[in-house]
Amino acid sequence: MDNDSKHRLVILVGSVREGRFGPVVSSWVAGQATAYGAFDVEVVDLVGIDLPLALPDASPKHAGDDYPRPAGMAPLTSALAATDAFIVVTPEYNHSCPASLKAAIDWHYTQWAAKPVAFVSYGGPAGGRHAVLHLENVFSELHAVTVRDGLAFPDYPAVWRDGVPLDPAVHGYAKLLLEQLAWWAGALRTARAAAPYPS
Nearer Cβ to ligand FMN, position 116 or 128? 128
Closest C-alpha among 119, 135, 137, 130 to residue 173: 119
Task: Please tell me whether residue 22 binds ligand FMN under the rule CB under 6 A.
Answer: yes
CA–CA gap between residue 40 and residue 25 (Å, rounded): 18
Q: Are 84 and 3 in contact, with CB atoms under 8 Å apart?
A: no
Of 92-131, binders to ligand FMN (CB under 6 A) are 92-95, 123-124, 126
The whole-angstrom separation of Cα 169 and Cα 178 is 15
Residue 144, Cβ density class (10 Å: 0-12 exposed, 13-18 middle, ≥19 buried): buried
- Kindly state the number of chain residues that form the binding site for ligand FMN, as judged by CB under 6 A: 13
CB of 140 to ligand FMN, least distance (A): 22
User: What minimum distance in Å lies between the beta carbon of 22 and ligand FMN?
Assistant: 4
Which position among 21, 27, 99, 179 is part of the footprint of ligand FMN (CB under 6 A)?
Answer: 21
Which residues contact ligand FMN (rule: CB under 6 A)?
15, 17, 20-22, 91-95, 123-124, 126
